[in-house]
């Protein structure tokens, strides 16, 4: 088994040499097609770039249904602020630390490169017996499951699907939340800086960030929310005006950094800075256990003002009130499981461009009507401040199928192998299973995977012993179809 794990990690390393940020999957798809061609395996690609590799059953394998092994080709490209890594050209540099695999200054890409590596290693191992397989690798999963949303259903003939995009070994995911993204665009009244204006640079950084679904209830600080609170504190001490604000990187990432520039008169600068410093101290106290590396700086900028303009006092207040009102974090917990998030919001991205503030908020909910409700709440906040508001169509939830034969088969194999029962749960994150099941009726699905911590952040790490256990489970599951 250790030899198999080595082969998996070798494939993973090869995959990590290929740039594959969302919407830039062409090179990894071509590499996978070449891999398939060397083995005489047929491939199909639909119009949006999703790839299927057809793998015939191993010789002597009895009649059995086709099994689909599924993952996505893209990855979230996050790095430390001081890193010079270029995701369009540079390979991910992997480092082993005991039982864990991580990357230098960037996301590791195990979400979801390890799914590709597992699938290729299974096909390459002559000792692994299996029925007909379809390796189904999608594009652009991380920016809204758009590859799956636009997939050609005729790509797949199999109706048994194992999604390899879950992140806790020993946990079988059988359902997931749906999600939508709301964009709030506020047109701003900008004015020239006054002769007496002082520029304060406000920076919140060093947060852990993470996946805006699976990590949303871990009391991690949202840098955008923090800067909103600091701005609100400054307004209580004197007139301030926003010059610029920028925070967050993607809809599905808890923001790790936000930076704002504000203008205030020399008369009020001491009081404004003191009010913001007091607020920063309170915030550090709230998060001292979960965000030990958080840093908040409020400092006077010494550089020339250049051609900067400031937002009017009225619109600065609008921005502050909007950021203070918008929720970010768990909104509602499951009634039957108070430890499980049912509805959540991530205040994901803030930018100022061309005289407009653009706020991106990401909502998730297990119940469709609750997703509708929380989206309407976010929309109402945008409308109240006079902004233009747009909510995406989003992706559907995946309801649990309690009669799933695949689930029962996986549970049996797992218990036979490891002597314990797996945990069965619904995940508070978007999984492609919901979309694929909607596009391909009659699909029996499960999601599983090795243990992965802190995805969507440079702290992402993969637990190597769990990779071996998932390998054994997949080998046992595929072999079970020959019984």
Q: Give span(s): CATH 3.30.70.360, the chain.
A: 188-348
Q: Which CATH class is domain 2-177+397-480?
A: alpha beta
Confirm if 217 and 403 have CB atoms less than 8 A apart: no
Evaluate if residue 442 carries a pLDDT over 70. Answer: yes
pLDDT for res 307: 67
pLDDT at 217: 94
- Bridge partners (DSSP) of residue 175 are 426
Q: How far is CA 5 from CA 9, 211, 469, 471, 472, in A?
A: 6, 26, 9, 8, 10
By DSSP bridging, strand 171-176 and strand 423-427 are parallel
> Is residue 275 helix, strand or coil?
helix
Is the pLDDT confidence value at 52 over 80? yes
Q: What is the predicted pLDDT for the residue at 195? A: 86
Confidence tier at 81 by pLDDT (50, 70, 90): confident
- The residue from 74, 142, 315, 444 that is catalytic is 74
Binned at pLDDT 50, 70 and 90, residue 305 comes out as: low
**pLDDT at residue 303 above 70?**
no
Enter the pTM of the model.
0.83
Mean pLDDT of the chain: 95
CATH topology of domain 188-348: Alpha-Beta Plaits (3.30.70)
Q: What is the DSSP letter of 196?
A: T
pLDDT for the residue 226:
98
> What confidence category does residue 1 fall into, taking pLDDT thresholds of 50, 70 and 90?
very low
pLDDT tens by residue, 398-418: 999 989 999 999 999 999 999
Per-residue confidence band for 62, with pLDDT thresholds at 50, 70 and 90: confident
User: Known catalytic residue: 141?
Assistant: yes
Structural Rg of the chain based on CA atoms: 24
Which of these ranges, 3-7, 39-43, 116-120, has the smallest mean pLDDT? Answer: 3-7
Q: Is 74 a catalytic residue?
A: yes
156, 226 Cβ separation under 8 angstroms: no
Q: Is 176 exposed, middle or buried (0-12, 13-18, 19+ CB in 10 A)?
A: buried
Backbone region of residue 408 per phi and psi (left: phi > 0; alpha: psi in -120 to 50; beta: other values): alpha
Band of residue 304 on the pLDDT scale cut at 50, 70, 90: low
Task: Work out the average pLDDT over 124-140.
Answer: 97
pLDDT for residue 98 is more than 50: yes
- DSSP structural state of residue 421: P
Q: What is the pLDDT of residues 337-375, one digit of tens each?
A: 888 899 999 999 999 999 999 999 999 999 999 999 999
How many Cβ atoms from other residues are within 10 Å of residue 303's Cβ? 7
Q: Which of 141, 165, 169, 291 is catalytic?
A: 141
| Whether 296 contacts 203, CB under 8 Å | yes
Averaged pLDDT for residues 228-242: 96
- Spatial distance between the Cα atoms of 352 and 360, rounded to a whole number of angstroms: 12
Q: What residue spans in the chain does CATH classification 3.40.630.10 cover? A: 2-177+397-480
């Amino acid at each position: 088994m250790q030899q198999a794990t080595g082969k998996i990690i070798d494939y993973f390393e090869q995959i990590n040499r290929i740039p594959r940020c969302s919407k830039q999957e062409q090179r990894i798809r071509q590499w996978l097609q070449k891999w398939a061609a060397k083995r005489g395996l047929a491939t199909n690609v639909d119009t949006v770039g999703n790839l299927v590799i057809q793998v015939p059953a191993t010789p002597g394998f009895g009649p059995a249904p086709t099994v689909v092994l599924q993952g996505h080709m893209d990855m979230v490209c996050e790095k430390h602020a001081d890193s010079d890594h270029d995701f369009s050209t540079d390979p991910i540099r992997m480092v082993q630390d005991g039982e864990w695999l991580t990357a230098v200054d960037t996301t590791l890409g195990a979400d979801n490169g390890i799914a590709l590596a597992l699938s290729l290693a299974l096909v390459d191992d002559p000792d692994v017996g299996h029925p007909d397989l379809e390796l189904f690798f999608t594009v652009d999963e991380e920016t809204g499951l758009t590859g799956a949303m636009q997939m050609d259903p005729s790509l797949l003939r199999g109706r048994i699907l194992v999604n390899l995009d879950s992140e806790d070994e020993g946990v079988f995911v059988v359902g997931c939340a749906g999600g939508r993204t709301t964009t709030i665009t506020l047109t701003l009244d900008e004015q020239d800086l006054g002769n007496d204006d002082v520029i304060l640079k406000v920076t919140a950084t060093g947060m852990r960030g993470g996946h805006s679904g699976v990590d949303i209830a871990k009391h991690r600080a949202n840098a955008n929310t923090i800067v909103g609170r600091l701005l609100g504190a400054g307004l209580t001490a004197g007139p301030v005006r926003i010059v610029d604000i920028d925070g967050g990187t993607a809809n599905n990432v808890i923001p790790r950094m936000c930076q704002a520039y504000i203008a205030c008169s020399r008369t009020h600068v001491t009081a404004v800075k003191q009010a913001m410093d007091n607020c920063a101290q309170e915030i550090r106290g709230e998060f001292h256990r979960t965000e030990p590396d958080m840093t908040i700086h409020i400092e006077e900028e010494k550089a020339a003002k250049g051609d900067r303009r400031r937002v009017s006092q009225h619109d600065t207040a609008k921005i502050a009130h909007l950021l203070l009102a918008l929720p970010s974090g768990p909104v509602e917990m499951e009634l039957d499981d108070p430890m499980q998030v049912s509805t959540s919001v991530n205040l994901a991205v803030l930018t100022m461009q061309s005289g407009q503030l653009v706020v991106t908020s990401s909502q998730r909910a297990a119940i469709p009507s609750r997703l509708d409700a929380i989206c309407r709440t976010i929309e109402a906040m945008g409308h109240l401040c006079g902004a233009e508001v747009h909510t995406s169509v989003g992706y559907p939830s995946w309801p649990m199928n309690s009669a799933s034969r695949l689930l029962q088969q996986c549970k049996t194999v797992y218990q036979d192998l490891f002597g314990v029962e797996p945990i069965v749960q619904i995940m508070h994150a978007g999984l492609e299973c919901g979309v694929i099941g909607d596009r391909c009726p009659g699909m029996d699905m499960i999601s599983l995977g090795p243990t992965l911590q802190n995805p969507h952040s440079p702290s992402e790490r993969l637990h190597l012993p769990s990779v071996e256990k998932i390998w054994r489970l997949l080998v046992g599951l595929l072999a079970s179809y020959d019984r």
